[in-house]
Structures are given as structure tokens and as C-alpha cells.
Amino acid sequence: MSTRRNFLKTAAVTTGAVGATALGSAHIYAEEPKKITWRLQTYAGPALGEHVIKPSIDAFNQAAKGEMEIQLYYADQLVPTGELFRAMQRGTIDAVQSDDDSIAAPVDVSVFGGYFPFATRYSLDVPVLFHRYGLKEIWEEAYGEVKGVTWLGAGAWDPCHFATVEPINSLADLKGKRIFTFPTAGKFLSRFGVIPVTLPWEDVEVAVQTGELDGITWSGITEDYTVGWANVTKYFLTNNISGAWIGSYFANSDKWAAVPEHLKTLFKLCMDSSHYYRQYWYWGGEAQLRVEGGKLQLTTIPDAEWQTVEAEAQKFWDEIAKTSPRCAKVVEIFKKYNALMVKAGPPYRY
């Protein structure tokens, strides 16, 4: 019995020592989860990026509690905007916020990103089209055919207006104007004599000052004031060719797959917070700055003449619809949606 007691005591001491050693080793040698670091570049310059993306990225980094950090870069800081898709595909950068059109996304639906003429009237049209009319599934299908990049979702930005050095009071005034704009918007506006010009975003203000540009059709009045373009132009045309810019978030597919599910959810929630912020920032800014801005004089092309532009947009839609069955499907959705809005009447359409 005495020997048995001694054995039990010894075993208890030994087991405790082994257990302590094992626990100590686990504490010493267990690898800490490696922090995920992304480089995300936006289409926007610093002044605009302060609104359209930085608050949401700051929130993400805080909520991720060290598990993941997103380093934010602005227009052309790492890669020229037109090369963003390929750079993301190669893994040079990890994620992008932009429209499909500007980053030369190699999918047929990229033509609808940015400002597709008269597809939208108000910013709320964009989320409705994506989440209630099927555009989300169409975009997922299109990007599912491209290796290396995952489309994460779309949201609305501001309407597309002219800010110019000389006043625009008629369609004739557009002829020969050298305008900084988006690829598809420029292709459409060239039908009215506009000369689309592509420049790095940061060069636009100086290009207006030097006379290289006659104006900008890249935004609404909120951005004109925010980024300094209202300082170098004099007039703002109240007619717009689109009620809201369609912009998206994208990520390198391998990098996205490596993100834990809870951080994917967090990132998508931060995307939604960015979409929400822009809804009221632009909506309020567009009205307030027309009335109280003080820098830009408002001009308007009469409705009867502007109808010519809207009618031409329908021809443009039909031409795009012929480029692929999927584009035809998107155009059909735009037609169905806008017809319904017209029938619904005010406040949906006037």
C-alpha cells in the first residue's frame, strides 16, 4: 500500500510537470495568426477619396483588430487607372474601387460601368437594378468567366454633368469642346461633337488652366467643388447624361479566398456603409451647391433640344445590345426598369 501511495504521488507530480511543460511549449511555439495586408487602389484622388472610400476603410481596419489591414492608395498612385484590372489580376495590387469601364475590365458588361447614358436617373436606381432587377447575378456571371479577379458588388455615385470654362446653352455649344470624361460616356458624347480626352486624374485641374481641356464631364457638382474643379471652371450644365455612376469593388481572387469568412463579411458591411454615405453626401451636395456654391454659374439646354440627346441614347443602347447576348439582357432590363418608373410617375420620374 505504501509503495502504491508513493507511485500515485510520483505520477501526479510527473504528470503535472509534463502537463506544465506541454502547456508551456504550446504557449511558446504556437504560431500567431499572420496578419493579412492588402493594397487597395481607388479611382478617386485624395480629396474625393476622403469621402467615397476612406471612412469605410478606416472603419474596417479598426474593426478587424489587427487580423487584417487594408492600405489605401488613390488614383494612379501605384498603377495607372486604365491598368488596374490587369495589375489586380496579376496580384500586383489586391483590390480596387472603380467603375468597370475605367479599369478596362475584360468583360462585356464593363461598358455599363461608370456612366451608361440615361440608364439611371437617381442614385437609388443603381442598388435597385442590381438587387431587384438581376444585374448582380449578371455581373457575377460575367466576372466568373475571368480568371484572377472577383467582383464584390456595385453601388451608386453622383450624376454626370458638364463643368466648363465657356457656357453651354445649346447642343451646338458642345461641338469641339475637349472634355475629360469616362470611355463610354466619351464615345456617346462624341456624337454631339465633343472631343473626349483621357488624362491622369491629378492632371485634370492644370489641364483646364492651361487650355488643354475645355471642361469636365466626370461628376456632379459635389465633386467639382470637393476636388477643386469649380476653381478652374465657370459654368455648370444642369442637364445630365446619367443620374448616377455605377462603381464597383473588386479583389484578386486568390487574396479574397484567403480572407476568413468573418472578415469577408466585415469588408462587405464596410462596402455597404460606403454606399450609404455616398447616397446622402451626393444627394445633399448636388442641391446645396447649385443654390449656395457661389463659384459656378448654372446653364441649361432647353428640354425640347435635350430630348435629341435622350433619343440618341436609345440608339446607343440598341447598338450596345448587339455586342453580346448578355449586353442585350442588360439593355432589356434598363428598358423595362425605366418604363416602369415612367409609369409610376412622380417622384420616380417626372
Same domain, 169 and 219: yes
Same domain, 143 and 213: no
Domain boundary among the residues 234, 263, 289 is at 289
The answer to whether residue 4 is domain-embedded is: no
Determine the straight-line distance between the first and last CA of the chain, rounded to whole angstroms.
Answer: 99
Measured between alpha carbons, how far is residue 340 from residues 13, 125, 155 in Å? 80, 12, 21
| Helices and strands: H and E segment counts in the chain | 13, 11
Residue-level pLDDT at 258: 98
Whether residues 113 and 186 share a domain: the answer is: no
CA separation, residue 217 to residues 101, 114, 222 (Å): 15, 12, 13
Q: Are 183 and 195 contained in the same domain? A: yes
Query: For the chain, what is the domain count?
Result: 2
277 lies in some domain: yes
CATH number at residue 226: 3.40.190.170
DSSP, res 108: G
Q: Domain residues for 111? A: 36-118+136-156+246-289
User: In sequence order, what are the residues at sequence separation of 6 or more whose Cβ sits closer than 8 angstroms to the Cβ of residue 40?
Assistant: 57, 70, 71, 72, 73, 93, 94, 95, 96, 97
Residue 165 and residue 269 share a domain: no
Based on the fold, state whether residues 190 and 261 are members of the same structural domain: no
Residues 226, 322 within the same domain: yes
Cα–Cα distance, 169 to 183 (Å, whole number):
24
Torsion of CA 74, 80, 81, 86, to 10 degrees: -120
Query: Which tens digits make up the pLDDT trace of 148-161?
Result: 999 999 999 999 99
Q: Is 124 a domain residue?
A: no
Domain shared by 221 and 319, yes or no: yes
149/143 Cα distance (integer angstroms): 7
pLDDT in tens, the chain (350 residues): 443 344 334 444 444 444 444 444 444 445 667 999 999 999 999 999 999 999 999 999 999 999 999 999 999 999 999 999 999 999 999 999 999 999 999 999 999 999 999 999 999 999 999 999 999 999 999 999 999 999 999 999 999 999 999 999 999 999 999 999 999 999 999 999 999 999 999 999 999 999 999 999 999 999 999 999 999 999 999 999 999 999 999 999 999 999 999 999 999 999 999 999 999 999 999 999 999 999 999 999 999 999 999 999 999 999 999 999 999 999 999 999 999 999 999 999 98
209 in the same domain as 225 = yes
- Rounded to 5, what percent of the chain is helix, strand, coil? 55, 15, 30
Cell of 78: 501605384
pLDDT one-digit tens code per residue, 95-116:
999 999 999 999 999 999 999 9
Q: Is there a single domain that holds both residue 188 and residue 279?
A: no
Cell representation of residue 139: 455581373
Q: Residues 82-86: contacts with CB within 8 Å, 24+ apart?
A: 82/198, 84/41, 84/43, 85/149, 85/250
Give the predicted TM-score (pTM) of the model: 0.89
Strands (E) across the chain are located at: 36-42, 68-73, 95-98, 149-156, 160-164, 178-181, 195-197, 215-219, 235-242, 246-252, 297-299
Q: Same structural domain for residues 255 and 178?
A: no
Q: What is the DSSP letter of 17?
A: H
Whose CA is closest to 174, among 196, 155, 143? 196
Q: How far is the C-alpha of 58 from the C-alpha of 64, rounded, in Å?
A: 10
Instruction: Give the pLDDT confidence score for residue 16 in this predicted structure.
Output: 47
pLDDT at residue 24 in the model: 46
Grid coordinates given for 17: 510537470
Residue 70 lies in a domain: yes
Residue 32's pLDDT is 65
Q: Assess whether 283 and 297 both reside in one domain.
A: no
